Amino acid sequence: AAASLAQVHRATTRDGREVAVKILYPDVRELIRRDLGVLRSVEPVVRTVFGFIHTRRVLDQLSDMLAHETDYANEQQNILRMSGLFEGREDIVVPEVVSELCGDGVLTMSFEPGVKITEAEGDAEDGEAIARVLVDAFFTMLFKDRIFHADPHPGNFLVRRNDSGEPVLVILDYGAVEPVTDELAEGMKQVVLGAMMKDDEAILRGVETMGFVADGGDRELLGKVGREYLKVLGSVRIEDYSSMDRETLRKLSGFDQTRGKLREIMRNVRYPDGFFYVERTLILLFGLVAQLAPKPGLPGLVAPLAARMMMGGGP
């Protein structure tokens, strides 16, 4: 299998073990360094012309993420840590590291059979069962363990069946594993619970806790924008998240009053450290769950987990 940064080959060791060998492409680190240099050269223009005052912080976080993804010693440690987090769970599998066959640019792990998550056979109920395992895993990582897999695209998940025919999720590729700050985790909890209770003030408190309000920022302006956006969300009825039409997307992302105030809003917003990884993960997860379980979508699967958290049962 080939990816943008590496190739993965199936192999058999001399003692008969089936393994997957991940090999970094030659010179990929230098190519990343050059590409980031180009981005850094145009960043001041983007910041000035479009008013996105936090582009440098986003670029720094992207640079860190790419450095982590090309550091296989770091990925080994990530695999060991995530194995510990999911120890005892029969519905989630993390590959085992074969440390004696690892080196700079080479990572060897146990070969884990399964089919790509979006190609698993089954009916709608089966897709929802797979999505439920996936969402529960990420909910636990974000809110309980405070460390998470930051690259949940379909190629990083396999599905196989246990003896009872129930889905087992195999999670691959641990180059992008990131911590969640307490402020981000607690703020996201407030946002999720506020959304469940339809409490826009609680959502705004969560946004503040996460660190989005800039020093000297206008809280009332952000509150007004938040309330307007909640009204838009409340007017949208999405029965199937896999078939949102253009008008629905326009209502969700581009209503005129907020778009017209973009520059003013950006001056009042601070981009919290670490949110780049969380935001990217949630966007990818939203799309993946929409493919697996379009009727409930991510909000429908998160609701019972949030209710449990609200009742004090933890993530």
Please give the residue range of the domain that contains residue 194. Answer: 182-273
Greatest mean pLDDT among 90-104, 269-283, 292-306 lies in 90-104
In a domain, 310, yes or no: no
Query: Do the Cβ atoms of 94 and 141 come closer than 8 Å?
Result: no
Give tens-digit pLDDT for 188-220: 898 888 888 888 788 888 888 988 877 776 776
Query: What mean pLDDT is predicted for residues 64-77?
Result: 91
Give tens-digit pLDDT for 240-290: 445 545 555 455 555 444 444 555 665 667 778 888 889 889 888 888 998
In a domain, 111, yes or no: no
In a domain, 189, yes or no: yes
In a domain, 129, yes or no: no
Share of the chain above pLDDT 70, in %: 79
Give tens-digit pLDDT for 160-176: 999 998 999 999 999 99
Domains contained in the chain, number: 1
In a domain, 202, yes or no: yes
In a domain, 30, yes or no: no
Q: Within the chain, where are the H helices?
A: 28-50, 55-69, 72-85, 124-140, 182-197, 200-210, 219-235, 246-253, 256-260, 262-268, 275-292, 297-310
Question: Looking at residue 1, what is its pLDDT?
Answer: 53
In whole angstroms, give the CA distance from residue 127 to residue 66. 32
In a domain, 232, yes or no: yes
In a domain, 191, yes or no: yes
pTM score: 0.80
Question: Looking at residue 258, what is its pLDDT?
Answer: 47
Minimal CA–CA distance to 303: which of 76, 139, 183, 163? Answer: 139
Question: Looking at residue 44, what is its pLDDT?
Answer: 84
Q: How confident is the model at residue 65 (pLDDT cuts 50, 70, 90)?
A: confident
